[in-house]
Amino acid sequence: MKRILAILAFLGAFLSLYAQSTRVKFNVEVDPQSSWFKSDEVSVEPDGSIIHMHAGLNMDYYFTENYVFVLGVGINNLGGNLLYADSTEFSSKGETLLVEPNQSVKLNLQYIDIPIGLKLKTEEMGYATYFLQLGFNPMINLNAKATSEEASLDKADIKESIKTFCLGYHVGLGIEYNLGGSTSLIGGIRWSSGLTDVTDNDRANITLNSITLHLGVLF
């Protein structure tokens, strides 16, 4: 995570030189978040949330002073706990791992996410500008680990049981506080909800939800 943050900070500082002469700005964000699953099948029930971090670099393209197109890239760590009423199989490096009935499994999923959307901003009031952001979250899975309460799974690699592509949407509210020139601090809150199934479990459609505390620096 430290390496990722260092790379994103360097890219943000470098790209901000380009942004000074255009309608483009960049922001680096580090966001703590709580995520959990939603299931449409009673045999697989959500069983609690987990806390993770998201780190990313976003490009803001200004159509006008108040309307902004947003495109980003980041590393998104998500997941949650699922309670399986029936025995369940996970694939791990060509092997089959079995979870007994009525066990809770903690899934830690890591994605590359490419958020895309629109930001609607108010006029600057004092040093502050408020915004509403709407958009979609295409994500590509990088890693998937599973741990069960009976230790039948202990950070097992279950990437084979997780779908490579995942799509969701987000809605957020925030504030930009100008520090001088083109540099601003960003704070806010964002709700994200999944639109597609994240696992290959045919018995249930399992999607991801999260609430994120948005923290960043705009260059």
Least confident of 17-21, 123-127, 170-174: 17-21
- Find, among 71, 44, 1, 54, the residue nearest to 210 by Cα: 54
Higher pLDDT, 7 or 167: 167
The mean pLDDT of 83-110, rounded to a whole number, is 89
State yes or no: pLDDT of 78 exceeds 50.
yes
Higher pLDDT, 42 or 6: 42
pLDDT category of residue 5 using cuts at 50, 70 and 90: very low
What pLDDT shows up at residue 46?
A: 92
What pLDDT shows up at residue 71?
A: 92
For residue 86, what is the DSSP state? S
- Find, among 121, 25, 113, 34, the residue nearest to 79 by Cα: 34
Contact criterion met (CB below 8 Å) for 38 and 47: no
Other Cβ atoms less than 10 A from the Cβ of 26: the count is 22
Identify the sign of the CA torsion 8, 120, 133, 167.
Answer: negative
Q: What angle do CA 32, 35, 38 make, to 5 degrees?
A: 165
pLDDT tens-digit map of 31-76? 999 999 999 888 899 999 999 999 999 989 888 889 999 999 999 9
Q: What angle do CA 145, 215, 66 make, to 5 degrees?
A: 125
State yes or no: pLDDT of 7 exceeds 70.
no
pLDDT category of residue 142 using cuts at 50, 70 and 90: very high
Q: Give the HSE-up count for residue 93: Cα atoms under 13 Å, Cβ half-sphere.
A: 4
Identify the sign of the CA torsion 94, 89, 159, 203.
Answer: positive
Higher pLDDT, 153 or 202: 153
Q: Give the HSE-up count for residue 202: Cα atoms under 13 Å, Cβ half-sphere.
A: 0
For 170, the token pair is: 């987000």
Least confident of 104-108, 144-148, 177-181: 177-181
Strand partners, 72: 58
State yes or no: pLDDT of 150 exceeds 90.
no
What pLDDT shows up at residue 3?
A: 55
Please report which helix (H) or strand (E) contains residue 202, including its range.
none
At residue 144, φ and ψ (nearest 5 deg) are: -150, 125
Higher pLDDT, 130 or 85: 130
What CA dihedral angle connects 172, 189, 57 and 181, to 10 degrees?
90
State yes or no: pLDDT of 107 exceeds 90.
yes
Domains and CATH numbers, the chain: 2-218 (2.40.160.20)
Higher pLDDT, 155 or 22: 155
Contact criterion met (CB below 8 Å) for 203 and 188: no
DSSP string of 61-104, one letter each residue: EESSSSEEEEEEEEEEEEEEEEEESS-EEEEETTEEEEE-TTEE
What pLDDT shows up at residue 213?
A: 96
What is the distance of C-alpha 20 from the center of its chain?
28
What is the distance of C-alpha 108 from the center of its chain?
12
